[in-house]
Structure 1
Amino acid sequence: MKFGGSGGVILADVDAVSQPQHFDTPRLSAAGRDELARRWALTYAASTMHFVRWKTVQFERFEGSGEWRQKQFVTYHGHPGKPPLNIDAAAQERFVELVARQPPPDDADNGLGELLILGEEATVTGWDPDRPGRTTILRADPIDGTSSLAHCGDGFATVVTVESRRQPGADWKHLGGAIVRSDGLTVSWSRTQVQAHHVVLDLSRLDADKRPNIIDLGPIPPFAAVELDEDVRQAVATSGASVAAHSSKRREALRAKFPDLQVLSNHLDYRAGTTAAWQLCNGMLGFIVELNATTIHDSAHLLPYTLLGGNIVTHEYEPVRIIELIQDHADPTNLEKVVPPYIAFTDRESLEIVKAAARADGRSR
């Protein structure tokens, strides 16, 4: 990312992390597979979030909230943490219904082929990995941030990513995705561009064959194309977030590993992850720190961020090639936490702040 004023080029003492970017002229037509994946990821994510907002508003009173706060005492692959709540299960059922009622166009040349739905509350059954033809994964987390929803009624997101392979044995390719926040602020992306939207969440009932109103706000420019005044650049570079939102244990772990991060930052938010996609892609945050290994859908915000020119490194400051990593582990049998603990940053100064915060604990290199 290049800034105006005295700002420098992003990558300081780490190798180039982002894959080559091609933002000049998107070559895919509206019927192209990547664009198809982006548009339908946006449709499914927006419609699911609309359903969740409508559903939860019915239970905002004390006497009703207990119904959807009930835990589903089940064990499901890829998520050894807290069990899902009733609202998680309802949102997942809605997502499956949306795909069934609003399937993407079946185009032999640019279509998505056989669709597999995958996520925390959904595992693939009855899939034949040797079946000829294209297979596409709709990787969904209908409610990423259930704890925030349960306690605050806000601060969560619906996440959908799309990975596809042309035939058995071929490599999986990431095509696109969408992240819709609980306030309607939304980003969607293909491999050629990242777009901004606002989903109108009017708290009304919406049938599964209908779509909510989505206001398109246009493409988000790559970071290298944006020049900022020095005072703005400084404010952004020194602002960040940590994925430690609702766990006292994780907040204490952050303080132990980066004891001075709160002091050195101009602003430090504890509610990051996918809910930070909007501000991260729109240049409002300079860095994000994640202390733990994460799943693909929990790291989905890094995909559009990387496409825009953002950088991701491990805590040892080694490059994380997020798109390659996700493609390598996209197979439906892989739901493990494959993304290592990371630092995402847009400006050299942002990385230096994180390094300095760790230096007091003897961890900087």
Structure 2
Amino acid sequence: MFVNVHCSRKCKLRHLMSTFFVVLMVTLHWETLDSSILSHVKSFSLRHIFTSLDYISTNLTISREEARRFSSHRYLINHNQKCTGQNILLLLFVKTSPQNFQRRQAIRSTWGNEVYIEESLGVTVKVLFALGLHPQPLQRGTLQQQLLEEDERHHDLIQQDFLDTFHNLTLKLLLQISWTHFYCPHARFLMSADDDIFVHLPNLIRYLKEADQAGVKDFWIGKVHRGAPPVRSKESKYYVSQEMYPWLLYPDYTPGAGYVLSKDVASRLYQASLTLNASIHIDDVFLGICAIAIGISPQDHVFFSGEGRAPYHLCIYNQMMTSHGHEKDFHELWRRATDPEVQQVSSGLFGRLYCTLAKVRLLCIPHLLVSYPCKAAFL
């Protein structure tokens, strides 16, 4: 009787372990199917049936004179000597709004601290904040004076005279790529990020140094959206009319929350922008349209979060590149993510096994908002 009970328990344990393994594999491979195969179908098969990318690029091409109205805005604050005579690995533009003083200061004192980066990581990174004019005339004068005082202290604001609104985000993108072209073309990489993004600079710098040593070109990484359709609901801020964009699918693109380009791609994107209609206000989509013109496709990096916030865990910090949706916890996250214990917890065989299991629990169990895909747990 005892043997039978023991056998039963043993069989139940085996069954439980087998079930767990099967569920894990299905979860993992279902995501692979969904992300790789279905997205591939949406991005390529359906796109070629319904939406020719070359056709889009051709139909959005305009004369240089027409295109100039999108990029001819006057600089109100500029630092055209910021990059002069320096060996710069990364030029990092943070998209911000005039009133977001606290966010900018939090970034300067955490992941965007240029002095810390140079002293601790041994490379030169330039961090700049891109912005326009406050849209409310009654607040504009006071805010502008405050911005001038802020820039007098930090020398890191780049401002043009367009209105800083959601529908002018493409103008802010044009500001970044044109400023890079004219004033910092030798920076080996260009990053664009929102001011509510946390960037794990130590991880990113290690990754970019390896890429730079390998002499990478055609380099564009982030969280890739493939085969996304335009939003036609007028209630959404992402609404795009049929007249503005008549095609069924967008080109592949990385969300504007955070992505990185190599300098050759940044230069060619600038040239493409000189003859493309930039009236579409979804800036990351416009970047995808420019990429069509130069024959570049984005590469997916599983530790770029796109729209999601990364789980708070030591085993995540070890590989994190970006995490979205941070406004008040920059200091706490920076302290946790750069703690020496982060490297120790994942070292050795048992450390790697522990972190794999921890990431499976955090990333592979379905959540409403998951920043990194399940496959990231096994990297």
Q: Do these two structures clear the TM 0.5 threshold for a shared fold by scoring above it?
A: no
Larger radius of gyration: 2
More strand by share: 1
Q: TM-score, normalised by structure 2?
A: 0.28
Q: TM-score, normalised by structure 1?
A: 0.28
More helix by share: 2
